[in-house]
Amino acid sequence: MFSADAKDEIAAAAFRKPCCPGTFVRTLRAFSSGSARLVLTDRGPVVRAVLRAAKSAGIRTGGAHPAGRRFGRGAIEVRAAQPVRARDDAAPKRSCCRRAWLRAAFLACGSVSDPHRSYHLEFVPPDERAARALQRGLRAFGVSAGRSRRRGKPLVYVKGAPAVAELLAHMGASRAVLALDDLLAVRYTKNVTRRRVNSEAANAARAAATSARQQSAAATLVRRARTHAVSAALREAARLRIAHPDYTIAELAARARPPVSKAAMAYRLRTIERQA
């Protein structure tokens, strides 16, 4: 659903300059699975974009027709009379036409996964030559694309949220980019919250363990004070820790008479543990 909506949005995007529709149509032909087939899709906006661009570029088409059973229910085929040229799959040098080239390649053989599952955008071009041209063209956008094969067919893929979002933005899929950014923001917030909660829980567990250890040592020291000489400062620190097991060291330091610093109270409690 995410990929189909992104294609509808990309198909509805306007061309920047008069030279772009011709690039769009020629690229669609080059990256389609047959030499005569211009585009095979079940998306109405894609068909309208193809016919609109072909008319603007002066390219004759045979209109839109049902593609037949072997292409799936609801598939629509648009044919053009002109043959495909070998150079039609190469990315143009003009930046405006390069974006039209990318849009057409994606509409012809691309898809993007639902960002709730993964950040993955891929193309299934008709042959290895088109796959190499596509990989070079994506490099012109500053995106590194991988190439492999799936079920005997060439595959060009892009992974990672930043790269996928950048390509969608170049193609004019602003709503898809916003949806991706919203999901990334939610996931980032959840991760930060989870790390903070885990950190606070770990700190609380360490503080509880330290307090229990200090309380046990303080009880031992108080018993020993009956037969051994123990300083008044250590006896006071021991009594405070026994009376207030859930207090922090700073709170115990404030309870001392007279109040002492946090470092001083921490030193007294360490001394109690050593002596105990």
What SS3 string covers 46-94? HHHHHHHHHHHHCCCEEEEEECCHHHCCCCEEEEECCCCCHHHHCCCCC
- Same domain, residue pair 37 and 101: yes
Condensed to tens digits (0 to 9), the pLDDT of residues 69-85 reads 544 444 455 555 555 45
CA 185 vs. chain centroid, Å, equals 9
Query: CA 253, CA 258: separation in Å to the nearest integer?
Result: 9
Residue 235 to residue 36: CA distance in whole angstroms: 95
Residue 192 lies in a domain: no
pLDDT at 126: 87
Residues 177 and 220 in one domain: no
Asked if residue 193 belongs to a domain, the reply is no
**Alpha-carbon span 123 to 147, nearest angstrom:** 10
Picking from 184, 218, 244, the residue at the C-terminal end of a domain is 184
How many whole angstroms separate alpha carbon 144 and alpha carbon 59? 33
Give, in order, the Cα–Cα distances in Å from 245 to each of 214, 218, 252, 275.
9, 11, 10, 19
In the prediction, which pLDDT does 63 show? 59
In angstroms and rounded to an integer, the radius of gyration of the C-alpha atoms of the chain is: 34
As a whole number of angstroms, the distance between CA 186 and CA 40 comes to 36
* Residue 176: CATH number of its domain: 3.10.28.10
Tokens at 186, concatenated: 């939610």
Q: Which domain range does residue 75 map to? A: 2-184
Residue 41: band (very low, low, confident or very high) from pLDDT cuts 50, 70, 90? low
Do the domain assignments include residue 7?
yes
> Reduced to 3 states, what is the DSSP secondary structure of residue 245?
coil
User: Structural domain tally of the chain?
Assistant: 2
Q: Clarify whether residues 111 and 243 are in a common domain.
A: no
Per the structure block, which two tokens stand in for 58?
């002066």
* Same domain flag for 218 and 264: yes
Task: Indicate the residue among 153, 184, 215 that finishes a domain.
Answer: 184
| pLDDT, tens digit, 9 for 90 and up, residues 173-224 | 888 888 888 888 888 888 888 888 888 888 888 888 888 888 888 888 888 7
Q: Supply the pTM of this predicted model.
A: 0.67
Residues 140 and 227 in one domain: no
Sign, CA torsion 198/202/207/212: positive
Within a domain: residue 28?
Answer: yes
Same domain, 42 and 112: yes
Q: Look at residue 66 and tell me if it is in a domain.
A: yes
Q: Answer yes or no: is 148 within a domain.
A: yes
Q: What is the mean pLDDT of residues 254-259?
A: 90
Do both 72 and 126 map to the same domain? yes
State whether 180 and 214 are in the same domain. no
Task: Give the C-alpha separation, 36 to 157, whole Å.
Answer: 26
Could you tell me if 38 and 110 lie in one domain? yes
